Structure 1
Amino acid sequence: MDRGKKLILNTYFSLFYEILSLAYGFIVPQLVLQCYGSAVNGLVSSITHFLGFISLAECGVGAVVRSALYGPLAEKNDIMISKIVKSSNNFFKKVGLLLLGYTIVLVFVYPLTVKDSFGYVYTATLVVILSLVTFSQYYFSMTYRLLLAADQLVFVQMIVQSVTLGLNLIICFVAVKFKLSIHIYKLLTSIFFLVQPVTYACVVKYRYKIDRKIVLDEEPIKQKWNGLAQHIATVVLVSTDTMVLTLFSTLENVSIYAVYNIVVSGIKSIVTAFTNGMQALLGNMYVKKEYELLEHTFASIEWIVHTITTFSYTCCGILIVPFVMVYTRKITDISYVVPTFAILITLAQAMYSYRIPYNMMILAVGHYKQTQNSAIIEACINLILSIILVIKFGLIGVAIGTLIAMSYRTIYFALYLKHNVLKRSFSHFVKHILVDLLSALLISICTLQINITQLTYIAFFVMAIKTAFIAVVVIVLVNFILYRKEMKSGIGLLIGKR
């Protein structure tokens, strides 16, 4: 299978999974809210974010492992592939012990932070159960997932994860119908995640000639500690808002944040789905020294990400409050309508999504050590500003901190790419942002008269269709005028006609 076909399969299976995941993310928290209440929903969301450090096993060192695999996979070098797989497994075993220690500390310490709302044993046992879910999903199958991703076989993961997600959705309905405790419900979901590592192991055994007894005469994975440091900073970045709200605000505010985060994170996942497999494609071109094709392909990917991000988050900014009003219409313990926070958190996540092509290119060429400080600075900006602003502004304060932090690193990535990787002019980035702002402004003006008529999903769906239609028309016209060449090339890449 050539890399073009792999890209198409990766893109559309990823998109299917993310849509399914988005639906899951909307349905399940609403059922949890109705069945268990806002405080329990906030507690689960808070614990999940604190356990986010367990995902160190994927995005930090994982990115370095993928970069190391691009060359050996392109050269079909089974010996080097085996060495990288063995080194990766050895590293994750060590990380696993550290993460186990972190979880044990969390079990004893975290319940003290919410002791006024929940009993110690109740919270501690929930931490244990949720940690099992996280470990089964992220840790045990990590090296195999990385190998498949580096070989542009992301679609295999997407199929397996889609099946797992469907099974867990069924469990949620059963838990709500029979009024199972939150502990039993979360414990049942962890069982189905065990399907994933078993399936990945079978695929890898069938497809690759991995020598599990190979001797490592030197370290085959360079910069893995730099990758780990970057991801620690990233986890701190994405976890800061929930942690700060947990420590300096209320669990009800955590619950409000979690509901809005379902929407913006879901949109981010959809945007990311369009780029799944593209990093491996860029890495493959880079190791093969196809530099002219690489620059042309990157320009297409840059246009794709900016266009999809602008469409998605502009619609999100217009629709998020009406959606939350419908979504929480049966929740009466607190009000979930916070328009200013909604706009700020939407802008913050949009800035994060705009960085995807630049970050992807930097990771594809393996510049982890060189960009490490920027990750730390971004996390510090978000943490410091959120702590300062949350006391006076609450939810809005943490959103401001996130927006400023994410804007900083997005600009940094565009500048770094100019000076160190593709040598592309920074004006490309500036033009894209200006066109994005123009499109968003025109869409907002054209949809001013569109409002939700009643608090029902049908009424919201009608509003969403009208908004999306106007957004598509505006974006197509703007890009046809200002980005005609990139538009043709980008669409060609997505449909496999390059």
Structure 2
Amino acid sequence: MNARKSIYNILSGLLGQGIAILLGIMIPRLVIVNLGSESNGLLSSVNQMLIYLNLLESGVGTAALQSLYRPVAEKNISKINSILSAVNRFYKRIGIWYLLTVSALALLFPLFLQSDLPFSVVCPVVLLSGLTQAASFVVCGTCRLLIQAEGQNYVLNNVQTFVSVFTAIGKIVLLLQGYHLAAIQTMYFAVSLSQFAFIRFYMKRQHPWLNFSAVPNHGALSQKHSVLIHQISGLIFQNTDVLILTFACGLKTVSVYTMYVMLFGMIATVISTVNSGMSFVMGQTYHTNREKFFRLYDAFETYNMALTFSLYCTAHIFILPFLKIYTRGVTDINYIDPRLPFLFTTTYLLSNGRSAAQRVIEYAGHFQKTQKQSLIESAINIFVSLICVFRFGIYGVLLGTIAALLYRTNEMIRYASENLLGRPPWITLKKWGSYMALYLVNLAVFWNHPINQLNDYGSLIIAAGIICLIIVPEFFILGSLVDKTSFYYCRRYLQRKKQILS
């Protein structure tokens, strides 16, 4: 059953992301062409600021999710309801504070923004964007946690796919009709409300035993403050760059930055979708069968890293040819920079390549024991970024992120290996070294390849598909050679499944 859920989660997630990527690629260009790079930069800056407001959640979601894995695996309805009751009460308070904070931000942000965009546009864009998240906390935040703990991410994926398609079409129509950003955000807010209401209705119908008024188990959220420290660190290295660039370099530079983030972030989303499809299995197994968990962990680490390195290698090869076509005719700022792909892929490899270690730390609940390292990571990022941005611009903030990730990724792998897995960290670092060597070999092979001269989407997509079909198996074969134990474990698992099906 868990294997089937994982497959559903992954397939539905990949389908949704594929559709979202195809539609989503069109929208930033339409915004840039019809409204200018400043408007595109504004949307990115507002989204990044609102992500920081999610700190009001105080780590409740992650702490509750880890607490839910055991009772969900044991089908303990009483414990599930007590945890969800505590979360529901907290989320209602968060929604109120979020709304008040967003209202203040909508009034103040336009006053400090260096932009030609009028107050009448910036203020409603900020307000409507924030109202969407506030409604999410109040209406369906608790239900989302139970869906994730039960491994039914495919429900969220399917709903999100529908919403993504509908809103993307709506944005395209509104942009082509000449509407401004406030109208677009109004449409998105209305669609999001219907999505949240459906999720709550669905869970109440599927689980009639749900009782958000049960005696709350506040103890299940005891780790929320330690989780919050980790969330602050994560938000800093993921989102500080945009805020620093907004005020140090302007919205046009932000638009360049977010263009690369959008494209490389699509790869991150695909990888995250695959990972989240299996996360509930690993979370439940950690608390019920530790020996089996260690085998799952090794296989997950090996092949997740293979997927990460192979997809980013393909993206690195094709991002500049794609951007040349994508930004054709845009003259207010240059989007083509050969140095940026190296800096961006370094940040994403360091971030995604440590996800296995990060997950086992979360499953073990070692938030408080690792919060010191998380704070150091944040300090390094801010310090280096602020020093370098005024000298190196966009390169400076990326150097700050890389410096922080070099420290934290190495520390996270060391901690997970020595304290939770009972093994030396070189086992993981050996995989890193092997994958990185193959990554560089592939880049060297395609550095001056004729694909760099392709000038239409059709040829580029076909070439990318062919190269991807070559590169991905390379990394998976290398992973199987480096970690033969995981290869044999996966092969035996697939053989057993095949026998059951036959």
- Does TM, scored on the shorter chain, surpass 0.5? yes
1:63–1:378 distance in 2 versus 1, CA, 3 Å: same
Report if the CA contact (8 A) 2:24-2:168 is conserved: no
Counterparts of residues 415-494 of structure 1 (less than 5 Å): 415-450=414-449, 451-487=451-487, 489-490=489-490
Counterparts of residues 238-387 of structure 1 (less than 5 Å): 238-288=238-288, 290-387=289-386
Please report how far the alpha carbon of residue 122 of structure 1 lies from its aligned counterpart in structure 2 after TM superposition.
Answer: 2.6
Report if the CA contact (8 A) 1:57-1:142 is conserved: no
SS in 2 for 1:455: coil
Rounded Cα–Cα distance in structure 2 between residues aligned with 1:198 and 1:458: 40
Report if the CA contact (8 A) 1:317-1:342 is conserved: yes
Deviations 1:276-320 (A, max 9, x none): 1322212211221x1211100111100121100110111122211
Aligned amino acid, residue 9 of structure 2: N
Q: Residue in 2 aligned with 1:159?
A: 158
Q: Residue in 2 aligned with 1:212?
A: 212
Report if the CA contact (8 A) 1:315-1:467 is conserved: yes
SS in 2 for 1:159: helix
Q: Is the helix fraction higher in 1 or 2?
A: 2
Deviations 1:17-45 (A, max 9, x none): 22223223312111211111111111111
Counterparts of residues 48-63 of structure 1 (less than 5 Å): 48-56=47-55, 60-63=59-62
Judge which range, 135-144 or 199-208, deviates more: 135-144
Please report how far the alpha carbon of residue 221 of structure 1 lies from its aligned counterpart in structure 2 after TM superposition.
Answer: 2.3
Q: Residue in 1 aligned with 2:387?
A: 388
Please report how far the alpha carbon of residue 106 of structure 1 lies from its aligned counterpart in structure 2 after TM superposition.
Answer: 1.5
Query: When the two structures are aligned, how many residues end up with a matched partner?
Result: 496
TM-score by length of 2: 0.93
Deviations 1:101-157 (A, max 9, x none): 331332232112225422233322221122223334566311100111011111111
Aligned amino acid, residue 231 of structure 1: Q
Counterparts of residues 187-198 of structure 1 (less than 5 Å): 187-198=186-197
Rounded Cα–Cα distance in structure 2 between residues aligned with 1:137 and 1:267: 25
Deviations 1:156-183 (A, max 9, x none): 1101111111111110121122111221
Report if the CA contact (8 A) 1:28-1:169 is conserved: yes
Report if the CA contact (8 A) 2:227-2:367 is conserved: yes
Report if the CA contact (8 A) 1:79-1:211 is conserved: no
Judge which range, 93-102 or 382-391, deviates more: 93-102
Deviations 1:392-432 (A, max 9, x none): 10111111111121222221211111222222321111111
1:218–1:252 distance in 2 versus 1, CA, 3 Å: closer
Judge which range, 220-229 or 269-278, deviates more: 220-229
Q: Residue in 1 aligned with 2:90?
A: 91
**Do structure 1's residue 45 and structure 2's residue 65 form an aligned pair?**
no
1:43–1:492 distance in 2 versus 1, CA, 3 Å: farther
1:481–1:217 distance in 2 versus 1, CA, 3 Å: closer
Rounded Cα–Cα distance in structure 2 between residues aligned with 1:227 and 1:452: 44
Report if the CA contact (8 A) 2:139-2:200 is conserved: no
Aligned amino acid, residue 463 of structure 2: M
Rounded Cα–Cα distance in structure 1 between residues aligned with 2:185 and 2:40: 12
1:24–1:132 distance in 2 versus 1, CA, 3 Å: farther
SS in 1 for 2:179: coil
1:466–1:214 distance in 2 versus 1, CA, 3 Å: closer
SS in 2 for 1:140: helix
Report if the CA contact (8 A) 2:16-2:157 is conserved: yes
Rounded Cα–Cα distance in structure 1 between residues aligned with 2:319 and 2:302: 25
Q: Residue in 1 aligned with 2:100?
A: 101
Deviations 1:36-65 (A, max 9, x none): 111111111111111112444779321111
Aligned amino acid, residue 252 of structure 2: E
Please report how far the alpha carbon of residue 220 of structure 1 lies from its aligned counterpart in structure 2 after TM superposition.
Answer: 3.2
Report if the CA contact (8 A) 2:82-2:215 is conserved: yes
Rounded Cα–Cα distance in structure 2 between residues aligned with 1:140 and 1:118: 33
Alpha-carbon RMSD: 2.2
Please report how far the alpha carbon of residue 327 of structure 1 lies from its aligned counterpart in structure 2 after TM superposition.
Answer: 1.1
1:348–1:495 distance in 2 versus 1, CA, 3 Å: farther
Judge which range, 392-401 or 225-234, deviates more: 225-234
Rounded Cα–Cα distance in structure 2 between residues aligned with 1:459 and 1:59: 47
Rounded Cα–Cα distance in structure 2 between residues aligned with 1:478 and 1:239: 33
Rounded Cα–Cα distance in structure 1 between residues aligned with 2:60 and 2:217: 20
Aligned amino acid, residue 221 of structure 2: I
Rounded Cα–Cα distance in structure 2 between residues aligned with 1:387 and 1:494: 50
Deviations 1:167-201 (A, max 9, x none): 11110121122111221111111111112222221
Q: Residue in 1 aligned with 2:139?
A: 140
1:96–1:233 distance in 2 versus 1, CA, 3 Å: farther
Rounded Cα–Cα distance in structure 1 between residues aligned with 2:491 and 2:269: 20
Aligned amino acid, residue 420 of structure 1: N
Judge which range, 371-380 or 480-489, deviates more: 480-489
Please report how far the alpha carbon of residue 89 of structure 1 lies from its aligned counterpart in structure 2 after TM superposition.
Answer: 1.0
Q: Residue in 1 aligned with 2:399?
A: 400
Judge which range, 272-281 or 393-402, deviates more: 272-281
Instruction: Give me the identity figure in percent.
Output: 25
Rounded Cα–Cα distance in structure 2 between residues aligned with 1:4 and 1:58: 31
TM-score by length of 1: 0.94
Report if the CA contact (8 A) 1:11-1:277 is conserved: yes
Structure 1 unmatched ranges of 5 or more: none
Aligned amino acid, residue 95 of structure 1: I
Please report how far the alpha carbon of residue 252 of structure 1 lies from its aligned counterpart in structure 2 after TM superposition.
Answer: 0.8
Aligned amino acid, residue 61 of structure 1: V
SS in 1 for 2:444: helix
Q: Residue in 1 aligned with 2:228?
A: 228
Report if the CA contact (8 A) 1:279-1:364 is conserved: no
Please report how far the alpha carbon of residue 258 of structure 1 lies from its aligned counterpart in structure 2 after TM superposition.
Answer: 0.9
